[in-house]
Structure 1
Amino acid sequence: MAVQQDEYERISNPSAISSLLNTMIEGGGVSLCLDTPEARPEPIVLMEQHEGETLVMDLSSVDYLLYRLEQGERFFLRGQSQGKVLRTPLLALTETRRSGGRFLCCSEYPDSVDVLQRRESYRAELRMGMVVSATVYGAGEEGAPGELRDLSQDGCQLELPLTASGVLAESSEPMRLVLAFPDGTQFEVHAIARHQKMDPERHLLRVGFRFAGCTSEQERQIWYFVCEIEREAARYKKEAQEERQPSPLFAQPGKRVPNGEQVGRRDIRRYATPMARRVVKVAAYLDAQLLMLTQGHDVDSRQLSRNADRILQLHEEDREALLFASRCLSMEPLLVRHGIAVAVHLLDLVGENVPRDVRKAIVASGLVHDLGKALIPQVVFKAPNFEPCHRHMLSEHVSLLMARLKTCQWLSATVAQAVIGGINERLDGSGYPDGLTGSDITELAKASAVVDVVEAMRRDRPDRPARTAQQIYRHLLNHPHQFDVRWIKRYIERFKTLPIGSLVLFSSEQLGWIVRLDDAGAPFEVALTQQAEPPMRENLLGSVRGDVRERLGKPMREVAVST
């Protein structure tokens, strides 16, 4: 329920609070403000919410405030969404944890969120595809039909036929406007025409009206319409970050309203975490790129650059959330989710002290390294027995992809050759495409090979099921003639024996996905589930943070699930 207070609404409905907090999490740009007159907004990262329980944030950028916050000093969070300012009530920290030089903190969960906006100045514009019919009545009974183009608290703009100029001219008094929304809602208000502009090519008039004599109930309705138009318009924005429900005002009777927000054909609300729902944009790009490659196009340089930057940004925000998100993409094509997982894990393994342009090239190369497989005869992947001729055809995917990267001038050729060209090479010369051995294989290629095999063995294949991390580590260590033991050990040291994204059976007989680890590599946060299936929003049952061992018991074993 929303209670209006001057220029803002106080939202206290739990579902609405959760939705608004998601826009702050996924949109970024959150500030922390102490409850003192001289306090300035300080930028932080709001990482996630546990509905009704706690907010999780990274306060590394304001570590100089931690002492005051840990002593109980209260604060509020502020962010933006769709032109509105969102503000929580006063909160206090409940927990602080240092992890890898970062300060991860939990706070109370807000019981409300204030939505601030100068209502009179905000003008909600209807985007293409949104139709609200409007009729203007002057002194006579005959009205001029048109369409609503924008709406604010104090007026609106209509598109009317040129013939409406007569209706406008004959009336010196406020005219009657009737708006009709697609769901059948009608709204009547009086207004004065203030200005008009002719569009001769379209034979239209654009007329601005100022509302006159509105009652408080009409003002309330207008504000509702403004918010709903804004909400519906936001669904049309290409770069929208939030999960947006369609407005009921624009639901046509008898026409099915989609159950979820779509990115391409994806229902992003089914993805398990806010981070996974952000990674979906990268998945959508890779899926589209696959199709473009099969149609003869090159790799889209601009889009590859943009999505590599997106992965870098997400990794800088929260590496653990990104690692887990790479396990939450089971609805994506195999080549897509494999490429994302390789890019994320390779970045995390080798990118710590590497210049940003090199890290970006590593991510980009990891994302697309396997897309060339869409360009070779698919019989290779369906053959019951892998023959030498199949191996030769398979090896061609590397050169086919490299040829499609010629427009990516920003992409380091050295990095691309190491990752895309070297990821399938083996120390003993048994790899492809060039059969390189030992010292002829670069360090980045050796690291890439380890990451690639781990990710491949994490997923089902026609000739074998998915393996656990321990089984994969054992396989790698048993093949030192093919894989560099130093990089195997570095991988295990970095990601631990129960890596993030592992499904674990605890001694309490509870199943849970490892979401975060503590500094010792023990589970710190676990997403609970009852099913040995890839993590989806509908099969996660909440989470346990901090006191995992006390509540769930000892991790007994990992359960292999193809993700």
Structure 2
Amino acid sequence: MHFAENTAAKVVKSLMDRDHELFIFSNSLTGTLSGDITWLDADTGHLTICADSRGRDISHYSRDGRLSFDIEVKDDDGGAEIFNFERVSAITIKRDHHLYEFQCQLPDSVLLNDNRDAIRIPFILGMQARVNCEVYEDELNIKGKLRNLSIGGCMIDIAIEDSAALRVDQVIPRVLIDFPNGTSISTKGLIRHIRPFGSSTHAAVGLQFIEKDHALDEHLFHVVAEAEREVAIRTGMNPEAGAGSPLFIAGKKEKQIMRREAQDKAKHANQPPMTRGVKELAKQLHIILMFLKNQNTFPEDTLYDCVDTLLLLVNKDRKQLLYALSLLRNEAEWVRHAIQVTATLADFMIGRDPHSPYIRESVAGALIHTMGKPLMLGPQLPTLKANMTPDQKTLLKGHTTTLLETLDTAGWQPSQLCRNVLENSNERLDGSGYPNGKTDQDLNDTARLIGLIKAINKLMHPRNGAAPRAPLDAYRWVSDHDEQYDKALLVEYIQIYGLYPIGCLAQFSRGFLAWIIDTDNKGMPTRVNVVKNLAFPNTAISTELEAHDFMQIGKFEGIANPDDYDIVLKE
């Protein structure tokens, strides 16, 4: 088909009228560059983007006169739609020290050929289909949304934490695509590429359809033709296309899913800076894993950016940080544990000596010390979420060795201080730890400290079917196992964080539950966020109170388990 106007430019113009962000990306780098559209000629498709390189080598982003970028558009309900433009013709001009201008020529149409010379249909302007990838039969399913479709494959958008189980060239036994009206496609897929998507809270996964039969090919031809017709109508490419495709008319099931999603979407716009900082750390750990696993490269700069960010947050307001760490409760377990343990380690070490030369490298090691776990995901260990069998628990103890071997293969050698944390964070004083069964004579103060912090953190969170312990119970358990942990460090830990740490759920005598935001020098709560009145369990509340107002909710009685009351810490 030939269209007189530049429909790609027309789509971009419509996006510019909405709340949007533009991210320039490179398949070889973890970080994106934020850009702004400063000029668009909707008739010719001439587009100008300005971006700050932030000291990065711009040649990694603009190669062979081509530029790739995502435009992420925010929905009114807090969701996002991502539009992808790859290898757009561009001239790069340096305007200032770090400021660059990219003069781009958009393609005439949003319909482009893929690598197999088939028409690729972008799912844009509200077009959507849901995707379910059965990674391991009856074990692991990953849900996502369709971003483009051709006869030969598709690109899907998944949560970035779900990308931990995927790698390039992996065969997906079953890819199920469900359209809003109930039409579906089931096929086998091969992962061709994975990269961070948009603002990097998502991952883009390119799939090639494999082992197709004639019936599936015919079905794909029909669906792609219908999607092409829908794009033509929504973009105005073909005003005479008639009615839209029935594929995209939501049936009863789709409407129910959409209502449920609208209710569940978190509102991120009002996140305080400390919360955004902690969430950014989690996102970057997922991206480091993605590149280490799929490109056999270790993005050292990204790791140390995370280290410096975390140290900045500790020094800025340690109590706000301790509260923000609790918001990681719903993150992937390996990420939650790594960031919470690392932040506590940094806070502990800075409190002792803010100028210690050991802090930065120890923090670097702590941030990635659990990354070997997702590197081990496979048929024998399909997920880290479910309760594990004894054999899987034994297998997982090899995560330290797996990480060190993977780093070595990628050509990255950690410093001696960093390696100390990577090798020894799971060792115990009595030799009962792993991977090498070291004893107290082999473990320095940092290794002993992180071992203690890890033990307390594990005990205070649900793990393999075991309920979380209250802080006092966790401390008592560690004290009872003083052959494994340094008791002097435990005493020091309790003196710093108290019996009622920030971020725990407090229970009050008049039936109120509240998150602890701040404590006094004796470790008693002085500011809380009241979230539930047990007399009215179905009523959601959120009220901050200072200590002098606690009489409204009664006497402080102790720490409660949020899971017992179906309470989630709100962002």
SS in 1 for 2:517: strand
Of 376, 386, 399, the match for 2:390: 386
1:501 to 485, 488, 503: 503
Residue 402 of structure 1, aligned match among 401, 404, 408 = 404
What does residue 476 of structure 1 align with? Answer: 478
Q: In the TM superposition, what is the alpha-carbon distance from 1:442 to its structure 2 partner?
A: 1.2
1:422 to 421, 424, 443: 424
In 2, Cα distance between the equivalents of 1:475 and 1:269? 37
Q: Over the residues paired in the alignment, what is the CA RMSD in angstroms?
A: 4.3
Q: Secondary structure at the match of 2:327?
A: coil
3-state SS of paired residue (1:530) = strand
Among candidates 432, 435, 446, match of residue 433 of structure 1: 435
Using the TM superposition, give the Cα deviation of residue 252 of structure 1 relative to its aligned residue in structure 2, in angstroms: 9.3
**Contact preservation (8 Å) 1:276, 1:325:** yes
Identity of aligned residues (%): 25
Deviation at 1:302? 0.4
Query: SS where residue 461 of structure 1 aligns?
Result: coil
Corresponding residue of 2:329: 330
Q: Which moves more between the two structures, 456-465 or 425-434?
A: 456-465
Distance in 2, Cα, partners of 1:540 & 1:316 = 32
Contact persistence 1:459–1:561 (CA under 8 A)? no
CA spacing shift, 1:468–1:133, aligned 2, 3 Å: same
Structure 1 partner of 2:316:
317
* Contact 1:276/1:329, CA 8 A, preserved across alignment: no
Q: How far apart in 1 are the matches of 2:304 and 2:36?
A: 32
Are the structure 2 counterparts of residues 299 and 553 from structure 1 closer, same or farther at C-alpha, using a change threshold of 3 Å? farther
State how far apart, in whole Å, the 1-side matches of 2:103 and 2:435 are. Answer: 63
C-alpha distance in 1 between matches for 2:285 and 2:541 = 27
Match of 2:284? 285
Paired with 1:302 and 1:468, the residues of 2 have a C-alpha distance of 38
| 1:207-255 CA distance string (max 9 Å, x none) | xxxxxxxxxxxxxxxxxxxxxxxxxxxxx99699xxxxxxxxxx99999
- Corresponding residue pairs, total: 326
Amino acid aligned to 1:412: S
What pairs with 1:154-193 in structure 2 (closer than 5 Å)?
none
Q: Aligned to 2:516, which of 514, 517, 524?
A: 514
Counterpart of 1:362 in structure 2 is 362
1:6-85 matches, within 5 Å, as none
1:304 aligns to what? 303
Q: After superposition, what is the alpha-carbon deviation per residue over 1:472-499, rounded to whole angstroms, capped at 9, x for unaligned?
A: 1111111111111111111111100000
Classify 1:502/1:252 alpha carbon distance in 2 versus 1 (closer, same or farther; 3 Å): farther
> Aligned partners of 1:332, 1:338: CA distance in 2, in Å?
9
Q: What is the aligned partner in structure 1 of residue 530 from structure 2?
A: 528
| Contact persistence 2:506–2:557 (CA under 8 A) | yes
Structure 2 unaligned spans of 5+: 1-34, 50-101, 107-196, 202-233, 237-243, 249-257, 259-264, 564-568
Match of 2:463? 461
Alignment of 1:84-163 (within 5 A): 127=37, 133=42
Change (3 A) 1:549 1:314: same
Q: Match of 2:515, SS?
A: strand
What are the within-5 Å matches in structure 2 for residues 438-453 of structure 1? Answer: 438-453=440-455
Distance 1:274 1:551, change over 3 A: farther
1:412: which partner in 2?
Answer: 415
Post-superposition Cα deviations, 1:357-399, rounded to whole Å, max 9, x if no partner, equal 5322222212111111122255456675425x853x3332112
* SS of equivalent residue, structure 1 residue 524: strand
Shift of 1:503: 0.3
| Deviation of the 1:274 alpha carbon | 3.8
**Contact preservation (8 Å) 1:526, 1:548:** no
Instruction: Please give the alpha-carbon distance, in whole angstroms, between the structure 2 residues aligned to 1:479 and 1:271.
Output: 43
Matched letter for residue 355 of structure 1: H
Judge conservation of contact 1:361–1:412 (CA < 8 Å) in 2. yes
**Distance between the aligned counterparts of 2:363 and 2:372, measured in 1?**
16
CA apart distance, 1:200: 12
Paired with 1:290 and 1:372, the residues of 2 have a C-alpha distance of: 9
- 1:375 match: 375
Residue 554 of structure 1 and its aligned partner are, at CA, apart by 2.4
Question: In structure 2, do the counterparts of structure 1 residues 147 and 553 end up closer, same or farther at CA, with 3 Å as the change threshold?
Answer: same
Distance 1:399 1:269 in 2: 37
1:344 alignment partner in structure 2: 343
Structure 1 residue aligned with 2:555: 554
Distance in 2 (alpha carbons) for counterparts of 1:309 and 1:443: 22
Q: Give the SS at the match of 2:329.
A: coil
In 1, are the aligned partners of 2:387 and 2:465 still within 8 Å (CA)? no
Aligned residue identity for 1:368 = I
Contact 1:272 1:328 in 2 (8 A): no
Q: Is the 8 A contact 1:510 1:552 kept in 2?
A: yes
2:40 touches 2:47 (CA, 8 Å); kept in 1?
yes
- Look up the match of 2:544: 543
Q: Counterparts of 2:560 and 2:306 in 1: how far apart (Å)?
A: 32
Matches within 5 A, 1:160-309: 269=268, 273-295=272-294, 297-309=296-308
Once residues 455 and 317 of structure 1 are traced to their aligned partners in structure 2, the CA distance between those partners, rounded to angstroms, is: 23
CA distance in 1, matches of 2:302, 2:442: 32
Distance in 2, Cα, partners of 1:505 & 1:560: 9
Residue 360 of structure 2 aligns with an amino acid whose one-letter code is K
User: Cα distance, 1:405 vs. partner?
Assistant: 4.3
Contact 2:323 2:502 in 1 (8 A): yes
Which whole-Å CA distance do the structure 2 matches of 1:495 and 1:346 have between them?
Answer: 12
CA–CA separation in structure 2 for the residues paired with 1:350 and 1:375: 29
Counterpart contact for 2:48–2:104, Cα < 8 Å:
no
Counterpart amino acid of 2:37? R
The separation in 1 between residues aligned to 2:331 and 2:315, in whole angstroms, is 24
Q: Which amino acid aligns with 2:390?
A: F
Distance 1:384 1:126 in 2: 47
Change (3 A) 1:201 1:439: closer
